[in-house]
Amino acid sequence: MKGGIPTEAVNKKQSILRRYIAQKKLKSSRQREEIARIFFSMKGHVNLDELYRHAARFNSRIGYTTVYRTLKLLTECGMAVERKFADGQTRYENVDQGEHHDHLICLSCGKILEFTDNRIEKMQEEIAARHHFAIKDHRLEIYGACADCLKKEKNPPQPPFTKGGSMFRPLLGKDGNPSIPLLKKGGHHHIPPLEKGDTGGFSDEKAGKK
């Protein structure tokens, strides 16, 4: 599949799934095979709705329930891993049996980055051994901001304001809030007159009144 998993790897996973179905004496289904092939061809983390949309484009007769049951089957046989990150949404990851990796999750845009580090794995094993603990499974999820979102935070967009067809930006006071803008009139800058009863943000005392 272009941009996805190589066809050879997809075919291999299909064969493993068929053997698992035969061992469990489950009923073979063409639609389930189609859904599994689509899932095996996809990279990243996929939720139920996304997989259903892909499958429905391939075969409009595929139902939502069939997609759900197929994902559960793939999870049971270890060919898919169910993930639930901070947003609470359940996603499924196409993995090889026995494969393990950890995740960096951006809280701003939702991007999920995968990584492996043997030093972390070794440290976890050492900690478990120190406490006489047998590891059955584990996951490491690190939440923060990705490189793209960090750039946006450092350089936030400042869209210009428009007035009468011309572009200008408001003058900012010491507190960072917009102060009274200087408008052009007859080629000269002037401060727009205050409305009746408007002190321009000053109290009567500050404005010279007592």
**Bigger pLDDT: 19 vs 201:** 19
Label residue 59 by pLDDT band (50, 70, 90): very high
Contact residues for 185 (Cβ-Cβ < 8 A; gap 6+): none
**Bigger pLDDT: 171 vs 108:** 108
Instruction: Work out the percent of the chain whose per-residue pLDDT is above 90.
Output: 27
Q: By mean pLDDT, which of 100-104, 140-144, 189-193 is the weakest?
A: 189-193
Q: By mean pLDDT, which of 79-83, 127-131, 138-142, 157-161 is the weakest?
A: 157-161
The whole-model pTM stands at: 0.52
Which has the closest alpha carbon to 97: 46, 40, 135?
40
Q: What average pLDDT does this structure show over 171-177?
A: 55
Report which residue type is found at 89.
Q
Could you give the angle at which helices 30-40 and 48-58 cross, rounded to 10 degrees?
120
Tokens of 105: 């999750």
Residue-wise pLDDT tens digits, 7-43: 888 898 899 899 999 998 998 899 999 999 999 988 7
Q: What domains can you pick out in the chain, each with its CATH number?
A: 1-98 (1.10.10.10), 100-157 (3.30.1490.190), 161-190 (no CATH)
Report which secondary-structure segment, H or E, holds 167: strand 166-168
Using the predicted structure, report yes or no on whether residue 115 has a pLDDT greater than 60.
yes
Cα–Cα–Cα angle for 175, 196, 181, rounded to 5 degrees: 35
Exposure string over 112-125, b if 16+ CB within 10 A, otherwise e? beeeeeeeeeeeee
Q: By mean pLDDT, which of 37-41, 140-144, 184-188 is the weakest?
A: 184-188
Task: Please state, in angstroms and rounded to a whole number, the distance separating the CA atoms of residues 68 and 35.
Answer: 10
pLDDT given at position 186: 52
Using the predicted structure, report yes or no on whether residue 109 has a pLDDT greater than 90.
no
Using the predicted structure, report yes or no on whether residue 164 has a pLDDT greater than 90.
no
**Bigger pLDDT: 89 vs 63:** 63
Tokens of 18: 């068929």
pLDDT given at position 1: 42
Checking phi first, is residue 201 left (phi over 0); if not, alpha (psi -120 to 50) or beta? Answer: left
